[in-house]
Amino acid sequence: MAASMTDSEIVRRSCPICEACCGLRVEVDRATGAIGRIEGDPDDHRSRGYLCPKAYGMKAVYEDPDRIRRPLRKRPDGSWEEIGWQEALDYAGERLNAIREAHGTPAVGVFVGEPTGHDVGALLYTTLFMQSFLSPRLFSSATMDQFPKNVTLTRMYGDGEMYVVPDLSRTDLFICMGGNPLASQGSLMGTPNAKGAISGIRERGGRVVVIDPRRTETAAVADEHHFIKPGADAFLLAAMCQVFFAEELVALGRFAAFTDGVDEVRALVEPFTPEAVSDVCGIPAETIRALAREYATTPRAALYGRIGTCTQRFGTLASWLLDVAAILTGHFDEPGCMMFPRPATGDTEPGRQPPPLPVGLYKTAARELPLVDGQLPAGAMAEEIEAASAGEGRMRALVTVAGNPVLSAPNGDRLARATDELDFMLSVDIYLNETTSHADLILPTRVHAERANYDLVYTRTTSRNYARYSPRVVEPDPDLLDHWQVLLELTARLQAKTPDEVDATYVDELIEKVTAPGTPCEGVSREVILDAIGDEVGPMRILDLLLRSGPYGDRFAAEGEGLSLASIIAADGPVDLGPLEPRLPQALKTPDGRVPLAHDYIVTDVSRLRAALDESADPDELLLVGRRQVRNMNSWLHNARLLAKGRNRCTLLVSNEDAARFGLETGGKARIGSRSGELDVEVEVSDEMMPGVVSLPHGFGHDRAGSKLGVASVLQPGVNANQLTDELPLDVPSGTHIANGIPIRITAL
């Protein structure tokens, strides 16, 4: 796992900051525990020495003097006191149990943040922790991100985590909508050195087309870029599908044998001709028609959409139509097209699945918003807490796990105020930030450098199958618990059990699942499995169980070939599991083993799309979109001094045309406002922007009293873009908030 050097040691591991999971070489002084140089690992077959600035975030977070290292409890006067772990955990359990007993299980809500996805222990034990509440009030960053995709994946293929990603290394046409892989490193298409991968398409004679209201960094290396009005992606995709039918370009191929609803889709898209949608999209009809023809007739083509296609008013329809377009033209589940990864942990293998959660099994107290696939809209937290909105059925306790919803959820000011009405708030977090500063108790955890990891969730979104274990870089602080340990201890207190008892039950449930009839490990005894994975409580034995029972596993044979935790540790780097391969229909988990192309739950929303064709825009309003930045990761790297240096990055990008229209100039200030808030922000005039559209990055706004982020509050405070995100309008089928295409008014200051 490490090679000795004269005065230091080199640890090889993956970067834990974004889903590309690039290979790193991290220098560490074992005597002092100091992290030295971080560089890209040239021997990593995935990233080949590439790294982006975010890689330095691991060192910065580990060394951050503002990082919390002991449990903090708020005193009655609002100040903080350090307390011991036993006292802190008992206090949390007592308060949460008392509220549940007095007011029922829905009185407790849980919000889980995005950093959880970068820690295998947190991922495995967060689910266990959430289940221990038995509360329907479950919120996460998903409903401010990719949730429309999860909703469509569940209905079309039976598995909301079976992501479909572009096969970049073999495609001849890459169409990118609402995404900026050069900044994100390939969100939901984990690809180290995304610039190299996309440039490689052009170098081998292929083409790259970007469709976005901003000429992004990705658009700058593309063959073609088309501006599109925010929120119009579903119209464009429906029109492309209309062209496929009208010009007889539909070619289902092998999908004809297991796909239903093609004729229904034909009827649904018929009104959305290129001419009908041209104005609402801002794209000429002939351009739409040419794009549809090129896509349909290029043998290996990948049509990819990301956060811009999700966080908008028709996010579910856009996510659905991306797959519909691919299936209709034979560009789905085929090399060079959109394909399904096959994780080594067996996450997306065929087999017994839990019954689907009925939509609306629970409805919120304030607005009767339905629970959709286990999630409630994150922006509904404030109204669910407020007595004036939710009445006696309000949420009285809130647990936040590695999240900062005051900055990441809509209308953060309202949420910040609402937390004052809570009976109890618990935060599992390493910072005293804009959200955790409202908590009654903060439980800190070890950080990336102090824990071993496995790229669990991101092997579901990788553009080439792999498995990787990453050793910890430094010895952990003995006075800190790991994230999974905190969650396990809390779960035990909520269930009135010991941590060992909770963990043993968890392992037994997983053993039952992986040995169920029809699985590769059917017939393997519990005793054999327990003997193979050992008895050390924690995520690594669970990971070993999943790897051994997964599609590449050794099936618990003593001398068997195949993956195990030991084998991937010994590899000291990523284990190559080959290119993406076709997986359907075998991997389908729908009730009848077929693809319902016109699923009732999704297509019901087409009437709303059709009605929007006749809407007219307010000429005095602009539309606000967000933007990714390579030195940021949402809100959680802004306190890293190395990454926060430089010019102000929280600027409002405005087109030349709009700057002249509203009297704006670079370096000047503008006041922008929506129904939910108002901000004064620095202007940056740029020809990157489509006229009528402005862009402001999210995750900033580090100027709130009570937080302790010494670097972020001084070097990059910025403004909170989500203060302009209205918590009321939603993408109806998924309950996702509209963070792109927000109508705003602007005034020069």
Q: Check: CB of residue 82 under 8 Å from CB of residue 70.
A: yes
Q: Give the sign of the dihedral formed by CA 408, CA 409, CA 410, CA 415.
A: negative
Residue 358 half-sphere exposure toward CB, CA atoms < 13 A: 4
**305 near 339, Cβ under 8 Å?**
no
User: Rounded to an integer, what distance in angstroms lies between the CA atom of residue 467 and that of residue 389?
Assistant: 47
Looking at 556-620, which runs of residues are DSSP E strands? 575-576, 595-596
Distance, in Å, from the CA atom of 605 to the CA atom of 733, rounded to the nearest integer, reads: 7
Distance CA 704, CA 714 (A): 12
Three-state SS annotation for 665-705: CCCCEEEEECCCCEEEEEEEECCCECCCEEECCCCCCCCCC
pLDDT tens-digit map of 595-607 = 999 999 999 999 9
Model pLDDT for residues 455-489, shown as the tens digit of each residue: 999 999 999 999 999 999 999 999 999 999 999 99
Task: Give residue 354's pLDDT.
Answer: 63
Numbered ranges of CATH 3.40.228.10 in the chain: 167-334+586-607
**H helices present in 85-206, as ranges:** 85-103, 120-133, 147-157, 181-184, 194-203
pLDDT single digits (tens) 645-685: 888 999 999 999 999 999 999 999 999 999 999 999 999 99
Return d(Cα 81, Cα 440) in angstroms, integer: 11
Go through the chain and tell me how many residues it has.
749
Question: Which residues in 498-620 belong to E strands, given as ranges?
Answer: 575-576, 595-596
Strand partners, 38: 26
> In this structure, which topology does domain 167-334+586-607 adopt according to CATH?
Dimethylsulfoxide Reductase; domain 2 (3.40.228)
Q: How far apart are CA 338 and CA 170, in angstroms?
A: 11
Closest CA to 120 of 397, 453, 413, 395: 453
The torsion angles phi and psi of 438, rounded to 5 degrees, stand at -90, -5
Q: What is the structure's pLDDT at 5? A: 44
- In 3D, which of 493, 490, 459, 148 has the Cα closest to residue 320? 148
Q: Amino acid identity, residue 202? A: R
The 8-class DSSP code of residue 49 comes to: T
Look at strands 23-29 and 34-40 and give their pairing: antiparallel
d(CA 290, CA 292): 5
Cβ(56)–Cβ(493) under 8 Å? no
CA distance linking residue 180 with residue 222, whole number of Å: 11
CB 651 within 8 A of CB 680: no
The correct CATH number of 617-748 out of 2.40.40.20, 3.30.470.20, 2.60.40.10, 3.40.630.30 is: 2.40.40.20
Q: What pLDDT shows up at residue 620? A: 86
Q: Residues spanned by CATH 2.40.40.20 within the chain?
A: 617-748
**pLDDT-flagged residues of the chain (< 70):** 1-6, 352-355
pLDDT at residue 4 in the model: 44
- Beta-bridged to residue 34, according to DSSP, are 29
Rg (CA), the chain: 25
